[in-house]
Amino acid sequence: MATDSAGYEYDPEASHAFPDERLNRVLPELLEDPELVAYLDAQNVNAVTRKGYNDHGSKHIEIVRNRALRLYDLLKAGDVAFNGASDQGLDEADEPVIIALAATLHDIGHIVHRDDHAYYSIPLAADFLDRFLDRFYEIPAKVRVKAEVLHAILCHHTPETPLTREAGVIRVADALDMEHGRSRIPYEEGGRGINTLSSQAIRRVSLEPGDATPVMVEIEMINAAGVYQVDNLLKSKLHDSTIEDVVRIVAINTKSDDDLVERIEL
């Protein structure tokens, strides 16, 4: 199993396969915004404290954003074209900004309710973006960036079909936060639902350049319960994501005495 990218964090000083100057201006201010910090803390109350679900707070958002940017970088390195920013007449440099913003804001609707949270995220994110984007864009470009971010936020919810690859990256990256640490809180509090148990079965997720496709996602399971995360949750997110043909996903059960499921490939 590849391990280099398992703990990947976006590094603004690293070399990327996309123009990163605009992202590197936007991202530090985003992460230090006090309203955003409050949202990321508050959105875990309904999800974890009240409903006993896996983490949907700041750590989940950090992982999703880093994996989205990693996935995007690998796809760009593989010459995969993106259409969200370009359809709007925006620059290529706006693609990673859209991805980072959508990954960061996609779950804020949890402050209203866990159920149908993607739809509640839209007005909340729109209000935030109206204020935040003023620092970086004039009104016409601001509206178009906002449009693409909101589209990607909505389409992380499986009933909605992504129309852009930027949105597809968010949809898949959200499902790639499946490692055991995500279910630590409900598991320690006695939760034994399928989401918690299946997440506990996932030891590592790595994103690397592929041979047949630009991206190879490798998932290490330690028991067959992890199949639910891969064959149910991730598979449904990958379907109709606009990137299903350029991403290969392989899950391997590394527990030698558990041969119920040895390997899954999507």
DSSP string, 219-263: EEESSGGGHIIIIIIIHHHHTTSS-TTTEEEEEEE--TT--S--E
In the predicted model, what is the mean pLDDT of residues 199-221?
Answer: 89
The CATH number of residue 244's host domain is 1.10.3210
Q: In Å, how far are 208, 219, 221 from 255, measured between CA atoms? A: 23, 13, 8
Residue 43 covered by a domain? yes
In-domain check, residue 264: no
Question: 83 in a domain, yes or no?
Answer: yes
Instruction: Return the minimum-mean-pLDDT range out of 113-117, 132-136, 185-189, 255-259.
Output: 185-189
Instruction: Give which of 94, 240, 39 is closest to 156, Cα–Cα.
Output: 240
Assess if residue 212 is contained within a domain.
Answer: yes
Return the pLDDT at 5: 57
What domain range is 26 assigned to? 21-259
Two tokens, residue 87: 């359809």
Residue 151 lies in a domain: yes
- Note the pTM of the prediction, 2 decimals: 0.88
Residue 59 lies in a domain: yes
12 vs 219, residue with greater confidence: 12
Count of residues making up the chain = 266
Determine the residue type at 9: E
The total domain count for the chain is: 1
Per-residue pLDDT at 92 exceeds 80:
yes
Strand order through the sheet with 247-253 = 202-209, 215-221, 247-253, 263-265
Average pLDDT of the segment spanning 42-52: 91
Does any domain span residue 6? no
Q: Is residue 265 part of a domain?
A: no
Residue 193 has pLDDT above 70, yes or no: no
What pLDDT was estimated at residue 2? 37
Q: Is the pLDDT of residue 111 over 90?
A: yes
